[in-house]
Amino acid sequence: MAGYNFDNPYNTGYGAQGGTDGGGFMQGEVTSSPAGGKGDYGKDTVRPLTIKQILDAEEPYPEAGHQVDGVIISHITFVGQIRNISTQTTNITYKVDDGTGVIEVKQWNDPDMSMAEPMGNDNDSKSKLVEDGYCRVWGKLKVFNNKKHVGAHVVRPVTDYNEINYHLLDATAIHLFFTRGPVDAGKGQNGMRMNEGAPGAPPQQMSNGQALPSMSPGARKLLQTLKATPQSNEGLHVQMLAGQMGTNTNEVQRAAEELISLGLIFTTVDEYTWALLEC
């Protein structure tokens, strides 16, 4: 990822050994502009996350898909310590803790696999998954009875503890990419973003030279954020704007309604995504 790349020797791609849904993601690959907060990023990629990010994932409206940093997540991966293992006839449930939160990971037994020959070292991996040991999980976020869990495709033991730190760096880097955009994106030679005044200074006038109309501090902050944040022509989603502004989505929506009434922004792909008019 531009500006936040790490030379990670650990495989966090979805084509991990034992995976059932072969891959679409290679480290650093993005299918659309993440800074826009939209697009097809989440459909065929694996997102490294912390457990807190997984638990905090939101679904803006039914069937929208869970989102982190305003981006839909599909396949996810994380690293944590196994606190408990519960073996059932149909599945194995791991309770995994990464220091930011605890979540249950369910790995369903495949009846077809019991009739097939063992695949590589898959059985060896399961035997090394022990309580208090560390593991890496690949899977999808699921919700049952309003409780989040991860449906795992692959759970393997962590043998090199450097992988824990590398994973946290990966998750942090990608979070920064989606919430702040690429490093130096949209900046001029003086280090400031294009069309941006002194740091923290709100825009003072429109492109035609007229003074901006009177507005609330929240609306002015939203306008400044939309001007200063790199984005695609689809604009920015409410979740990403809330993260950028350090506020909640309700405050952003109120500010957006005010700016729409002033004719300064407009909705794009849905009612929660806005872009600037010429101002």
Is the per-residue pLDDT at 162 higher than 50? yes
Token pair 């501090």 is at which residue? 217
Asked whether the predicted pLDDT for residue 159 surpasses 50, the reply is: yes
Lowest mean pLDDT segment, chosen from 16-25, 53-62, 89-98: 16-25
Residues 208, 206: Cα–Cα separation, whole Å: 5
CA 57 – CA 51 distance, rounded (Å) = 10
Run of H or E including 67: strand 67-68
Report the pLDDT value the prediction gives residue 51, as an integer from 0 to 100.
95
Q: What does the pLDDT read at residue 132?
A: 94
Q: What is the pLDDT of residues 97-121, one digit of tens each?
A: 999 999 999 998 876 554 444 444 4
| pLDDT score, position 234 | 79
pLDDT of residue 174 exceeding 70: yes
Mean of pLDDT over the chain: 75
- Distance (Å, whole) CA 139 – CA 20: 10
- Rounded CA separation 41/72 (Å): 7
Least confident among 18-22, 65-69, 147-151? 18-22
Query: For 84-96, b where at least 16 C-beta lie within 10 A, e where not — what string?
Result: eeeeeeeebebbb
For the structural domain made of 34-180, what CATH number should be given?
A: 2.40.50.140
- In which band, very low, low, confident or very high, does the pLDDT at 195 lie, cut at 50, 70 and 90? very low
Residue ranges per structural domain of the chain:
34-180, 217-276
Most confident stretch, 6-10, 98-102, 247-251: 98-102
Angle (CA) 150 174 98, round 5°: 45
31 confidence band (pLDDT: 50, 70, 90): very low
Q: Which of 116, 115, 106 has the alpha carbon at shortest distance from 154?
A: 106
Mean pLDDT for the stretch of residues 229-238: 83
Virtual torsion, Cα 151, 118, 15, 164, nearest 10 deg: 70
Mean pLDDT of 6-34: 42
Strands (DSSP E) found in 14-171: 46-48, 67-68, 71-72, 75-87, 91-97, 102-108, 134-144, 147-157
How many whole angstroms from its chain centre is CA 66?
10
The larger pLDDT score, comparing residue 23 to residue 111, is at 111
The answer to pTM > 0.75 is no
User: Highest-confidence range of 101-105, 196-200, 207-211, by mean pLDDT?
Assistant: 101-105
Counting residues of the chain whose pLDDT is more than 70, the rounded percentage is: 67
Of the candidate ranges 30-34, 202-206, 233-237, 251-255, the one whose mean pLDDT is the lowest: 30-34
Of residues 2, 56, 53, 36, the one with CA closest to residue 241: 36
- What is the third-level CATH fold of 217-276? Arc Repressor Mutant, subunit A (1.10.10)
Q: What percent of the chain has pLDDT over 90?
A: 33
